């Protein structure tokens, strides 16, 4: 039987784990079936234990009634003690299985929850940079943070529903054998009671939804204030945004009150109806006692069941609600898990040679091996696009398709928009596949990158672009994420990137903790640690996009010199317009409209090429903020 | 000097092959051993997990970094104040809840007497219909009271919550400027999202529900005693027996839940990084490492869950006994009492109904106390924000003139580590001064002191003869502004986003400011002009538009001196060309200190200050410094050669 955390090794097979089966993503329903099917035995067992846990409620009133009849009214002490002992036994069994079923249900809940979390991580790892092109990252994260919990809840409610169903049927049997009229009343009343509250639930849910959306607006307002706090405290605006928050807070309060009042209505109606039912039961019961068709003990039994029956019915409705919710969640999960990376290993992969020249057909750029090439372009996007091509990355030129339904969309409209989104996702996926199957247009040593395995490309060509991110962990983890370096190599990488001040600022040195995404470091510090990491990776071909845009001129000059020195003998491409880099370049290439228009050494181009001079010194003669 | 910085490298470098696993092996269950050994091992693990939970809890109470956390007393005082402000609705809520709970307790009594009459009077029983009607009357009353009680509880809870969260945001908006400028906002974000959410749940539901359940419990006990002393006492004794278990649980559970919460936010953080950095992950081949990091987080979380689960199981064992055994006791005692004529059948029926009905509110009391404790822990983190001492007390002197002068500035972030070593600088009104120097030289710190963000350790930065840090903030902002590379667009109208420094600015001023930076044309094309809502999740601006808004804010503030930190970064290279004009019209007629990364900024300035190791080592015009042939000249030659 499964235990938590479950072992999941699906989608991403880069680790040594033996792969586990992929989830069924043919439809949301199939996915839910797959989740439940994964822990069939566990759910069956917890259903059984639930039924045993409910035993005191199922049998208690009956035993109590018999004890009253025989023991108390009948005055038979032995019978009384017998029934009391039975009641005690039932209570003890119930107590023990309460604990067992709680243990089992926590287990099945967490197996589902952790399993879904693990699958999201592995899907992200498998898809890499392709996933954010297709699905909004926020929604991918919400599948992990909220939808995964719905799957856990589904396993619990399923087991509880089965357990309650067993109880309900048992009670039905008992009451029908005692008095068919009262038995029928008891059995029918419970669904009627819960059903009567149903029409009230719809408006309640609408109001609760409004409250939730107001509250989440409020949260984003607070996050926004904190994100811009430096500006608010530096320049001002505390009153305006404080007042905006207060206004939103009041509107969330009103929505909350509206929902609360409906909740009060629902509860009051519940109290009224179940009270009336109880009275009706007792009143009818007393009549039957007077007739002599029912004993007093049996009346007490009915009273007990009257209180109990609402429980199972509530559970059944909860089951309906939660399974709808998990279906919505399953729809989002399937939209992610169903995606496949576009890459296919070529039938006969060619092994790349990192010491060969790199050629990009689209721009006409040829990068000579073993030297530092600086690519200059007046339009930074064009050099970024070039870097993407050199590294075989799909450009971020798509609009990610939302996973969740629009708020308020219902019925046919929702289904149509869902179908449209699925089609759009499929279109992007088909486009991606088409794009990667073709010749890529970049060759390393004459071999088109599409003819090598993707991980071979990644090993040979490292592109560190402006979105490069640091991860939470120690400084040592940040510079040496693979734990492959010696201390001297890591120190050297920090020195080359001129990032020793980051080390110095952390009292724990290499073990100093960096916050997530390197928050807490200045932009310049972050950029230099990223650079140190890229240098330390020691790739045969290194492509750096604007590596020092947030670094001051002093430091930039130092970095340029050190990188040029350290990378000597290996292929390095840097895109920048800073003269401090150009100064150290072995070759400089000028891009115009995305194609190479000039190449040579910096000094020569500066004196000979008008266009080059304009791009590199543009800032000197055109942008004169300080004059 | 560079080698100095890495002096401790050998001591702090670690061989990670020997790193312990995320979950220590002692927390893994033993293999095949006997039942007794297994049982012992289970409790040992439980104890170990308790220690881990306590460590997490302690860390959350005494954060190493980030903002302070206040004590439990402050939380109590805070809520006591809020309740005191709503005395009337609080009393109304208590009364209505008492009425609802009370009327609910009358019903079993009446049902009991119904049974009694049948039992004692047999076929001759009379008045059954009247009694049944009476019960229905009570039920109707109960429903009405329930509605009223719930309604006032909602009003009360929501009102309390709104006040509490608005208080928190007001506190945040008053945080000392110096602290805000220096600290990471990550911790604050967690507090305004997760902690406010936790507090909301406990204030909104916890407080009213605890009250209702407590009242029901108390009144039920009273009703039981009124019904029959003989039947009530044994049942109550059994209930009381579970108190020690409940107390242990209540002491430990909040720590367990806070730990669980922390592990889930850890899982989320790691996954967020993996998703948002998916390209980096792919480029560096870190997929495997990220998958492992995710699994480790889950393994740690599973341990926290196991601890919580065992705590609950122990509690359930006690509660199951406490809630179910009284039925057996009531039965046995009732039978004995009946045979002696102490109690009648109606009392036994009522007692049974009470005993069964008491389980729910008792359970709720435990649950709500639990929830409230978790909420209190979050609230203490929220109130902690207010404990940051203010960093300035505005004096009443106003500056006489606009000249900014710094004398003997020294400043340290860590005690004993001065970053500035006595800087003197007198700005000439209307000049452009560029500050250049390597990172860590102290040039950004100089910028902060010159704009009154931080108080110098020694010396003074004065405008018109008054210390910048002694000026009221609203005056300071119209004298000097520090412009950083941040250009956050707030959720709000365009107007809200521009008027920051002078919040009562008329629309004409806003339009003029936008026009000055070249942003008026697109704003007027917006669907609702100045009223259009912008910011995250609303109408989204292009980077150039966002920067125009940021510049328009400064035009409104209209300070005579601007300190531009990394100012070239403020203008994104992609938008630089379109924004040159906007920037120029902002700088026009002002004194500008530009902390420059790009040498062209320095080249164009009237004077250049070269900062090295916390001192101004060169100061003069571009040509003067070239003649000096020092640090700046070297750099310039590197740049232009």
At B488 the pLDDT is: 86
**How far apart are the C-alpha atoms of A516 and A295, rounded to whole Å?**
71
Compute the average pLDDT of residues B393-420. 88
Of B387, B412, B434, the domain-final residue: B387
Q: pLDDT for B155-198, tens place per residue?
A: 999 998 999 999 999 999 999 888 887 666 677 887 888 888 88
Which secondary structure element, helix H or strand E, spans residue B413, and what is its range? strand B404-414
A94 and A243 housed in the same domain: no
User: How many angstroms separate the CA atoms of B624 and B606, rounded?
Assistant: 11
pLDDT of residue A620: 45
Instruction: Return the pLDDT at A614.
Output: 84
The CATH number of residue B334's host domain is: 1.20.1560.10
Could you tell me if residue B454 is inside a domain?
yes
Residues B96 and B122 in one domain: yes
Among chain A residues, the shortest Cα distance to B413 is held by A505
Pairing of strands A595-600, A587-592: antiparallel
Over residues B112-127, mean pLDDT: 77
Question: Which residues of chain B does A472 touch, with a Cβ-Cβ cutoff of 8 Å?
Answer: 269-270, 273
Structure tokens at A396: 């971020």
Closest CA to B558 of B526, B593, B512: B512
For residue B438, what pLDDT is reported? 82
Residue that is last in its domain, among B361, B387, B413: B387
Confirm if B404 and B427 have CB atoms less than 8 A apart.
yes
Which of A268, A343, A461, A515 is the best residue to mutate to test the B interface, defined by the most B CB atoms within 10 Å of its own CB?
Answer: A268
The owner of tokens 């008008």 is A610
Contact between B188 and A224 under an 8 Å Cβ cutoff? The reply is: no
Cα dihedral B570→B571→B573→B578 (10° resolution)? 170
* Same structural domain, A325 and A256: no
Overall domain count for chain B: 2
Predicted pLDDT at B374: 86
Interface of B with A in 565-624 (CB under 8 A): 566-567, 569, 573-574, 576, 580, 583-584, 587, 592, 594, 596-601, 603-606
Beta bridge partners of B620: B608
Q: How far apart are the first and last CA of chain B?
A: 27
Here the tokens at position B40 are 């012992």
A365 in any annotated domain: no
Residues B368 and B469 in one domain: no
Task: Quote the pLDDT of residue A623.
Answer: 40
Question: Pairing between strand A461-464 and A587-592?
Answer: unpaired
Q: What is the pLDDT of residues A261-277, one digit of tens each?
A: 998 998 898 889 888 88
**Residue A25 to chain B, least CA–CA distance (Å):** 21
What is the percentage of chain A residues whose pLDDT exceeds 70? 97
CB < 8 Å to B500, chain A: 231-232, 235-237, 240
The CATH number for B548's domain is 3.40.50.300
Q: What is the pLDDT of residue B575?
A: 57
**Are residues A217 and A265 located together in one domain of the fold?**
yes
What are the tokens at B102?
């009370």
Residue A131: pLDDT above 60? yes
The full DSSP string for B134-182 is HHHHHHHHHHHHHHHHHHHHHHHHHHHHHHHHHHHHHHHTTS-HHHHHH
Rounded CA-CA distance A124/B273 in Å is 11
Is residue B242 scored above 50 in pLDDT? yes
The per-residue pLDDT for A519 is 76
Q: Indicate whether A163 and A224 sit together in one domain.
A: no
| Same domain, residue pair B409 and B368 | no
pLDDT confidence band for A15 (50 / 70 / 90): low
- SS3 percent helix, strand, coil of chain B, rounded to 5, is 70, 10, 20
Residue A626 has pLDDT above 50, yes or no: no
CA distance B33 to chain A (A): 19
- For residues B276 and B233, membership in a common domain is answered with yes
The yes-or-no verdict on residue A627 having pLDDT over 50 is no
Mean pLDDT of B82-108: 89
Q: Compute the distance between CA of residue A224 and CA of residue B72 in angstroms, rounded to an integer.
A: 29
pLDDT at B570: 47
- CB-based contact B598:A550 (threshold 8 Å): no
**pLDDT higher than 70, residue A553:** yes
Residue A416 CB: number of other CB atoms within 10 A? 11
Contact A454, A343 (CB under 8 A): yes
pLDDT digits (tens, 9 = 90+) for A472-531: 999 999 999 999 999 999 999 999 999 998 998 888 899 998 888 887 787 888 999 999
> How much is the pLDDT for B569?
47
C-beta of residue A109 within 8 angstroms of C-beta of residue A153 = yes
B595 is a domain residue: yes
Range B5-17 average pLDDT: 86
Rounded to the nearest angstrom, the minimum Cα separation between B593 and chain A is 10
* Helix/strand/coil for B313: helix
Q: What is the per-residue pLDDT across B469-484, written as a single tens digit (0 to 9) for each?
A: 999 988 999 899 988 7
d(CA B124, CA A438): 97
Within a domain: B50: yes
For residue B380, how many C-alpha atoms fall within 13 Å in the half-sphere facing its CB?
Answer: 20
> How many structural domains comprise chain A?
2
Q: Convert the pLDDT of each residue in A342-367 to its tens digit.
A: 998 898 999 999 999 999 999 999 99
Nearest to B292 by CA among A111, A471, A511: A471
8 Å CB contact of B147 and A140:
no
pLDDT for res A190: 75
β-strand partners of B121: none
Cis preceding linkage at A209, omega within 30:
no
Closest Cα partner for B352 from A304, A59, A225? A304
Residue B531 has pLDDT above 50, yes or no: yes
| pLDDT for res A187 | 81
Rounded to 5°, angle at Cα B513 from B510 and B517? 140
A-interface mutation test, from B108, B119, B283, most A Cβ less than 10 A away? B283
Residue A432 lies in a domain: no
Structural domain includes residue A111: yes
Q: Which residues contact B372 (CB under 8 A, 6 or more apart)?
A: B202, B206, B207, B210
Specify the higher pLDDT residue, A229 or B486. A229
User: Which 3 state secondary structure label does DSSP give A375?
Assistant: strand
Residues of chain A above pLDDT 90, percent: 58
Instruction: Look up the domain containing A265 and give its range.
Output: 180-293
Q: Quick check: A226 and B324 CB within 8 A?
A: no
- The answer as to whether B16 is a domain residue is no
* CB atoms inside a 10 Å sphere around CB A364: 14
Q: Do A296 and B122 touch (CB under 8 A)?
A: no
Label residue B413 left, alpha or beta by phi (over 0 means left) and psi (-120 to 50 means alpha): alpha
Answer with the one of B387, B422, B440 that is the final residue of a domain.
B387
Give mean pLDDT, residues B26-36: 86
Q: What is the mean pLDDT of chain B?
A: 87
Residue B525 domain flag: yes
Maximum alpha-carbon separation in chain A:
119
Same domain for A185 and A45, yes or no, is: no
Q: Which two tokens stand for residue A507?
A: 């009292």
Distance CA B491, CA A1 (A): 50
B119 with B161, same domain?
Answer: yes
Segment 225-284 of chain B within 8 Å of chain A by CB? 267-284
Render pLDDT for A232-256 as a digit per residue (tens, 0 to 9): 988 889 999 999 999 999 999 999 9
pLDDT band at B2 (very low <50, low <70, confident <90, very high): very low
Percentage of chain B lying above the pLDDT 70 cut: 95
Question: Do B187 and B65 contact (CB within 8 A), yes or no?
Answer: yes
* Closest to B365 measured CA to CA, from B221, B260, B227, B516: B221
| Whether B238 and B324 share a structural domain | yes
Report the alpha-carbon distance of residue B383 to residue B373 in Å, rounded: 15
Q: Determine, yes or no, domain membership for A43.
A: yes
Residue B1 confidence (pLDDT) above 70? no
Q: State the residue range of the domain holding B276.
A: 42-387
DSSP designation for B27? G
- What does the alpha-carbon distance between residue A554 and residue B437 come to, in Å, rounded to a whole number? 6
Return the closest-CA partner of residue A360 out of A384, A396, A387: A387
pTM of the prediction? 0.88
Q: Do residues A22 and A86 both lie within one domain?
A: yes
Q: What is the pLDDT of residues A135-179, one digit of tens each?
A: 988 889 889 888 999 999 999 999 999 999 999 999 999 999 998
Domain shared by B164 and B258, yes or no? yes
Q: Are residues A257 and A330 in the same domain?
A: no
Of A220, A223, A230, the CB nearest to B181: A230
Report the candidate in B110, B362, B338 with the shortest Cα–Cα distance to residue B220: B362
C-alpha A250 chain-centroid distance:
31
Looking at the complex, does the CB of residue B10 fall below 8 Å from at least one CB of chain A?
yes
Specify whether B100 is located in the same domain as B149: yes
pLDDT of residue A45: 97
Q: Where are the alpha helices (DSSP H) in B494-621?
A: 494-498, 507-516, 520-525, 543-557, 567-570, 576-587, 599-604
CA distance B414 to A572: 40
Q: Which residues touch A539 (CB under 8 Å, ≥6 apart)?
A: A354, A459, A460, A461, A462
> Are both A88 and A15 inside the same structural domain?
yes
| pLDDT tens-digit map of A429-469 | 999 999 999 999 999 999 999 999 999 999 999 999 988 99
The domain boundary, picked from A225, A259, A293, lies at: A293
CB nearest B535 (choices: A12, A224, A300): A224
Q: How far is CA A384 from CA A387, A576, B423, in A?
A: 5, 10, 42
In this structure, is the dihedral angle defined by the CA atoms of residues B170, B175, B180 and B186, taken in order, positive or negative? Answer: negative
Residue B395: inside a domain: no
Beta pairing, strands B561-565 & B480-483 = parallel
Taken in order A328, A333, A335, A338, the sign of the CA dihedral is: negative
For A146, half-sphere exposure in the C-beta direction (CA atoms, 13 angstrom radius) is 9
Q: Are B177 and A233 in contact (CB under 8 A)?
A: yes
Q: Give all strands of the β-sheet with A442-444 in edge-to-edge order.
A: A365-367, A358-360, A442-444, A447-448
Residues A161 and A206 in one domain: no
Task: Quote ipTM for the complex.
Answer: 0.91
**Which residue in A has a C-alpha nearest to residue B130's C-alpha?**
A283
- Strand-pair partners of B404: B463
Give me A544's structure tokens: 């750096």
Structural domain contains residue A148: yes
Residue A303's pLDDT is 83
Pair (A147, A207) in one structural domain: no
B376 and B430 assigned to the same domain: no
Residue with tokens 């000059």: A557
B174 touches chain A (CB under 8 A): yes
Over range B295-303, report the average pLDDT.
95
* Alpha-carbon gap, residue B208 to B23, rounded angstroms: 40
Q: Which residues from chain B sit within 8 angstroms of residue A555, using beta carbons?
A: 438-439
For residue A300, the chain B residues in CB contact (below 8 A) are 115, 349, 352
DSSP, collapsed to helix, strand or coil, labels residue B607 as: strand
Are B490 and A555 within 8 A, CB to CB? no
In angstroms, the CA A264 to CA A313 distance is: 20
> Is residue B431 located within the same domain as residue B363?
no
Residue A321 shares a structural domain with residue A217: no
Kindly determine whether residue A239 and residue B503, on different chains, have CB atoms separated by under 8 Å: yes
- Is residue A450 within 8 Å of A438, Cβ to Cβ? yes
Same domain membership, residue A269 and residue A211: yes
Count the helix, strand and coil residues of chain A and give each as a percent rounded to the nearest 5.
Answer: 65, 10, 25
Give the DSSP letter of residue A450: G
Q: Are residues B355 and B410 in the same domain?
A: no
Residue B459, CB-side half-sphere exposure with 13 Å CA sphere: 21
- Three-state secondary structure of A74-114: CCCHHHHHHHHHHHHHHHHHHHHHHHHHHHHHHHHHHHHHH
- The reply to whether B469 and B364 lie within a common domain is no
B187-216 residues touching A, CB cutoff 8 A: 188-189, 192-193, 196-197, 200, 204
Is A49 a member of any domain? yes
With respect to residue A567, please indicate whether it lies within any of the assigned structural domains.
no
Is A624 within a domain? Answer: no
């Amino acid at each position: 039987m499964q235990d938590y955390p479950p072992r999941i090794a699906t989608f991403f097979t880069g680790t040594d784990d033996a792969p586990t089966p992929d989830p069924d993503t043919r439809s949301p329903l199939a996915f839910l079936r797959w989740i439940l099917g994964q822990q069939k035995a566990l759910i069956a067992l917890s259903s059984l234990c639930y039924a045993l846990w409910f035993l005191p409620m199922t049998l208690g009133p009956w035993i109590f009634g018999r004890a009253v009849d025989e023991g108390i009214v009948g005055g038979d002490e032995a019978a009384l003690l017998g029934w009391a002992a039975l009641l005690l036994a039932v209570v003890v069994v119930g107590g023990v299985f309460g604990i067992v079923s709680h243990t089992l249900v926590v287990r099945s809940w967490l197996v589902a929850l952790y399993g879904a979390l693990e699958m999201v991580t592995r899907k992200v790892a498998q898809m890499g940079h392709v996933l954010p092109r297709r699905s909004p990252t926020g929604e991918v994260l919400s599948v992990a943070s909220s939808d995964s919990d719905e799957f856990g809840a589904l396993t619990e409610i399923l087991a509880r529903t089965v357990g309650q169903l067993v109880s309900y049927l048992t009670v039905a049997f008992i009451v029908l054998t005692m008095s068919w009229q009262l038995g029928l009343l008891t059995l029918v009343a419970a669904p009627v009671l819960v059903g009567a509250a149903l029409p009230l639930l719809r408006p309640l849910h609408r109001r609760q939804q409004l409250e939730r959306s107001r509250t989440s607006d409020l949260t984003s307002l607070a996050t926004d204030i904190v994100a811009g706090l430096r500006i608010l405290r530096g320049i001002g605006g505390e009153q305006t945004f404080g007042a905006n928050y207060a206004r939103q807070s009041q509107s969330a309060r009103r929505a909350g009150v509206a929902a609360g009042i409906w909740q009060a209505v629902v509860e009051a109606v519940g109290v009224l109806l179940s009270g009336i039912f109880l009275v009706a039961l007792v009143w009818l019961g007393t009549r039957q006692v007077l007739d002599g068709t029912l004993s007093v003990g049996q009346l007490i039994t009915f009273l007990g069941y009257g209180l109990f029956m609402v429980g199972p019915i509530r559970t059944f409705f909860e089951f309906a609600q939660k399974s709808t919710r998990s279906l919505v969640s399953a729809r989002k999960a399937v939209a992610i898990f169903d995606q496949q990376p576009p890459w296919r290993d070529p039938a006969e992969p060619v092994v790349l040679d990192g010491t060969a020249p790199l050629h990009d057909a689209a721009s006409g750029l040829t990068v000579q091996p073993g030297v530092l090439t600086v690519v200059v372009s007046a339009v930074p996007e064009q050099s970024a696009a070039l870097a993407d091509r050199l590294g075989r990355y799909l450009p971020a030129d798509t609009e990610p398709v939302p996973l969740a339904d629009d708020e308020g969309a219902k019925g046919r409209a929702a289904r149509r928009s869902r179908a449209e989104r699925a089609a759009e996702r499929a279109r992007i996926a088909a486009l991606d596949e088409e794009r990667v199957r073709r010749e890529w247009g970049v060759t390393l040593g004459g071999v088109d990158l599409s003819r090598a395995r993707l991980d071979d490309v990644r090993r040979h060509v490292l592109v560190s672009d402006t979105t490069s991110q640091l991860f939470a962990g120690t400084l040592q983890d940040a510079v040496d994420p693979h734990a492959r370096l010696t201390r001297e190599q890591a120190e050297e990488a920090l020195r080359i990137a001129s990032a020793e001040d980051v080390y110095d600022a952390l009292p724990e040195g290499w073990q100093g903790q960096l916050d997530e995404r390197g928050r807490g470091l200045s932009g310049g510090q972050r950029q230099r640690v990223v650079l140190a990491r890229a240098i330390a990776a020691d790739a045969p071909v290194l492509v750096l996009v604007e590596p020092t845009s947030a670094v001051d001129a002093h430091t930039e000059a130092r970095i340029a010199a050190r990188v040029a020195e350290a990378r000597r003998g290996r292929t390095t491409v840097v895109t920048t317009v800073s003269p401090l880099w150009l100064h150290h370049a072995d070759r400089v290439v000028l891009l115009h409209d995305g194609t190479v228009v000039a190449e040579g050494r910096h000094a020569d181009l500066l004196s000979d090429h008008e266009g080059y001079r304009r791009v590199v010194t543009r800032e000197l003669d055109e942008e004169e903020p300080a004059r | 000097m560079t080698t100095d910085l890495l002096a401790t490298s050998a001591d702090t470098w670690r061989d990670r092959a020997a790193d312990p696993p995320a979950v220590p092996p002692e927390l893994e269950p033993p293999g095949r051993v006997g039942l007794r050994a297994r049982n012992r091992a289970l409790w040992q693990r439980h104890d170990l997990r308790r220690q881990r939970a306590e460590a997490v809890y302690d860390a959350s109470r005494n954060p190493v970094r980030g903002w302070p956390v206040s004590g439990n007393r402050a939380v109590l005082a805070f809520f006591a104040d809020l309740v005191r402000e709503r005395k009337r609705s609080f009393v109304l809520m208590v009364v209505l809840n008492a009425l609802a709970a009370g009327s609910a307790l009358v019903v079993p009594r009446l049902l009991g007497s119904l049974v009694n009459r049948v039992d004692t009077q047999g076929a001759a029983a009379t008045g059954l219909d009247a009694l049944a009607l009476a019960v229905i009357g009570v039920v109707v009353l109960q429903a009405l009271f329930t509605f009223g009680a719930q309604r006032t509880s909602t009003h009360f809870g929501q009102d309390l919550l709104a006040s509490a969260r608005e208080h928190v945001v007001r506190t945040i908006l008053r945080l000392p400027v110096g602290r805000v400028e220096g600290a990471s906002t990550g911790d604050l974000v967690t507090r305004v999202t997760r902690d406010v959410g936790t507090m909301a749940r406990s204030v909104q539901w916890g407080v009213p529900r605890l009250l209702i359940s407590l009242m029901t419990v108390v009144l039920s006990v009273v009703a039981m005693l009124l019904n029959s002393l003989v039947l009530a006492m044994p049942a109550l004794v059994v209930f009381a027996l579970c108190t020690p278990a409940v107390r242990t649980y209540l002491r430990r559970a909040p720590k367990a839940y806070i730990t669980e919460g922390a592990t889930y936010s850890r899982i989320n953080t790691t996954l967020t990084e993996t998703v948002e950095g998916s390209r980096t992950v792919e480029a560096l081949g870190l997929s495997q490492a990220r998958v492992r990091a995710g699994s480790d987080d889950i393994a740690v979380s599973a341990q926290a869950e196991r601890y919580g689960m065992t705590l609950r199981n122990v509690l359930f064992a006690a509660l199951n006994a406490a809630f179910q055994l009284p039925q057996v006791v009531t039965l046995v005692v009732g039978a004995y009492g009946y045979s002696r004529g102490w109690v009648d059948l109606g009392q036994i029926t009522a007692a049974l109904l009470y005993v069964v009905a008491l389980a729910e509110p008792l359970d709720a009391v435990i649950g709500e106390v639990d929830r409230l404790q978790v909420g209190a822990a979050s609230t203490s983190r929220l109130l902690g924000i207010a404990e940051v001492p203010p960093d300035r007390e505005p004096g009443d002197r106003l500056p006489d003139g606009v000249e900014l002068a710094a004398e003997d500035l020294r400043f340290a972030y860590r005690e004993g580590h001065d970053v500035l070593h006595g800087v003197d600088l007198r700005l000439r009104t209307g000049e452009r001064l560029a500050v250049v120097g390597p990172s860590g030289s102290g040039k950004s710190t100089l910028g902060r002191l010159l704009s009154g963000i931080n108080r110098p350790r020694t010396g003074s930065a004065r405008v018109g003869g008054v210390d910048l840090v002694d000026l009221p903030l609203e005056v300071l902002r119209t004298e000097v502004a520090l412009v950083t590379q941040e250009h956050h667009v707030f959720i709000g109208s365009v107007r809200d986003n521009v008027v920051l420094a002078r919040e009562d600015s008329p629309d004409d001023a806003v339009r003029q400011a936008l026009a000055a930076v070249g942003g008026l044309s697109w704003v007027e094309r917006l669907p609702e002009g100045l009223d259009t809502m912008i910011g995250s999740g609303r109408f989204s601006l292009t980077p150039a538009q966002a920067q125009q808004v940021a510049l328009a804010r400064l035009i409104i503030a209209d300070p005579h001196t601007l300190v531009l930190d990394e100012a070239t970064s403020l203008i994104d290279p992609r938008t630089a060309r379109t924004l040159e004009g906007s920037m120029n019209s902002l700088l026009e007629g002002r004194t500008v200190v530009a902390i420059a990364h790009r040498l062209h900024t320095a080249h164009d300035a009237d004077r250049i200050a070269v900062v090295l190791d916390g001192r101004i080592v060169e100061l003069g015009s571009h040509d003067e410094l070239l003649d000096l042939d020092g640090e700046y000249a070297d750099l310039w030659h590197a740049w232009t050669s």
